[in-house]
Amino acid sequence: MSCLIVFRTMTQAQRAASILSNQHLSVRIVRPPLEAGKGSCSAALRLPEQQLLSAKNLISKLSFQPLAYYQVLTDGRLQEVFP
Amino acid sequence: MIYLDNGATTLIKPKAVEQAVINAMQTCANPGRGGHRAAMKAAEVVYACRESVAELFDLDDPARVVFTQNATHALNIAIRNVLREGGHVVVSGYEHNSVMRPLVALKEKAVKFTIAYAPLFSAKAQIAALERSIQKDTVCIICNHVSNVFGCIQDIAAVNALCKKYNLKLILDLSQSAGILPISTKELSEAVYLCMPGHKGLYGPQGTGILICCKGDLHYSIMQGGTGSDSLNLHQPETLPEALESGTLNVPGIAGLHEGIRFILQKTPSAIGSWEHALKERFVQKARNIRGLHVFYGSKLQSGVISITCDQCTPEELGERLAAKGFCLRAGLHCAPVAHQSAGTLPQGTLRISLSAFNQKQEIDALCFAILKTIS
């Protein structure tokens, strides 16, 4: 199971990815579906579900915050977590 | 050909710069405009360059690095942001038209300015002149780090202290110092914007520039458009760097710029600056003995930018004769009439020799010999 952390911009996703990677979390930048970006173009980090809490803690220290956190269900649908 | 016009643009670049441009043209699409491999590759290239800029200028957040077309573009954004509500500005006596023309254009928007004229190579006199020029409604000081005409180095730490004392914003033009002198955003507490070209001392391709937004969360764009983000919103996004980066970026240029900055990080600005200083001293030592030649010399207060004039002919004529012998120099006013006003070199201007990390001692010797032969 994996998770998506959706950011408003590609640069924010890249900044977050850089910080998470430095802490040995395995993240990949992806283009999320429109609905994940609350209907607007955005960028997201995909990471294993077990790393989500660590990632959230690290991201909470940044000057910007994600649009949303999602769990990717087995059928591919997205379920928002920490709404 | 001996290229000594690096103050205009560095022509000789690290080999990796050219290769990066070609690679980007072959593999990079539009960053942030798609999720496919080529778009993601472009986004990686752009962000890597933001990170290298942040490392070079000791900046914590790479998102505060905005890519522009050139230093003039960056300066226009900076000036129009700081003076959005009007007010009075003090500028040094050595500013380029990339500062002066935007200020003159803003006069109708209640922007006033004072030029703080000061003698050449006198950092203390320049600081005193800046301080004398501050008025009750002054909001900002704009200052270049190094004059593009005479290479005189301004004491930017003292300018920063002056801004702190009077609660003024600081815009720095690093066009002739980025990559050549050590610069840390952490030591420039009052700097709101740092502006620089990518194609001079940073060894990137032409068409690249950088605006570092040191402070503030709200920055107004002088141009609005697509950013690849927040597309439902018809207003320009406020987040950096997208707020100030409308339209498709110059990805091949930025890829090359990244390699140029990697070259500098490897060599260090201090080492590059020391090399250029040594070449300048070599030129001055030899050129001083040429009868009729005048060298504007500032010792340690001068970078690798040197202006000369001679009694026998105009700077333009001397430049033409040396060009015929294969030397690439620049003659005239160098788009900086204010600097010539300060130095007393109007109306003819000067002939400028500007160095880079790739110049060699033999080239300096050859230039001195050619000048001697030309004007004797």
Partner-chain residue, chosen from B35, B47, B231, that has the shortest CB–CB distance to A11: B47
- From chain B residues 220-239, the ones with a CB under 8 A of any chain A CB are 227-233, 237, 239
Going residue by residue through chain B (376 aa), what tens digit of pLDDT does each one get? 999 999 999 999 999 999 999 999 999 999 988 889 999 999 999 999 999 999 999 999 999 999 999 999 999 999 999 999 999 999 999 999 999 999 999 998 899 999 999 999 999 999 999 999 999 999 999 999 999 999 999 999 999 999 999 999 999 999 999 999 999 999 999 999 999 999 999 999 999 999 999 998 888 999 999 998 888 889 999 999 999 999 999 999 999 999 999 999 999 999 999 999 999 999 999 999 999 999 999 999 999 999 999 999 999 999 999 999 999 999 999 999 999 999 999 999 999 999 999 999 999 999 999 999 999 8
Q: Tell me whether A14 touches chain B (CB under 8 Å).
A: yes
**How is residue B121 written in tokens?**
């190579």
Q: Tell me whether A30 touches chain B (CB under 8 Å).
A: yes
ipTM of the complex: 0.87
Q: For residue B139, give every residue at least 6 positions away whose Cβ sits within 8 Å of its Cβ, in sequence order, or none.
A: B82, B83, B87, B88, B89, B168, B169
User: How confident is the model at residue A39, as a pLDDT?
Assistant: 75
Which chain B residue has its CA at the smallest distance from A39's CA? B232
Q: For residue B254, give every residue at least 6 positions away whose Cβ sits within 8 Å of its Cβ, in sequence order, or none.
A: B24, B45, B46, B49, B67, B198, B204, B208
Q: Tell me whether A39 touches chain B (CB under 8 Å).
A: yes
> How do B138-144 and B169-173 pair as beta strands?
parallel
Distance from CA of B64 to the nearest CA of A (A): 10
Which chain B residue has its CA at the smallest distance from A64's CA? B239
Partner-chain residue, chosen from A9, A39, A63, that has the shortest CB–CB distance to B229: A9
Q: Which residue has the tokens 């030649």?
A: B293
CB-CB under 8 Å, A11 with B242: yes
Mean pLDDT of chain B: 96
CA atoms lying within 13 Å on the CB side of residue B85: 4
Which chain A residue has its CA at the smallest distance from B48's CA? A14
For an interface test with A, the pick among B44, B47, B52, B238 (most A C-beta atoms closer than 10 Å) comes out as B47
pLDDT in tens, A27-83: 999 999 888 888 788 999 999 999 999 999 999 999 999 999 999 999 989 999 987
Q: Report pTM.
A: 0.95
Residues of chain A contacting B232 with CB distance shorter than 8 Å: 39-40
Q: For residue B37, give every residue at least 6 positions away whose Cβ sits within 8 Å of its Cβ, in sequence order, or none.
A: none
CB-CB under 8 Å, B35 with A31: yes
DSSP annotation of B168: -
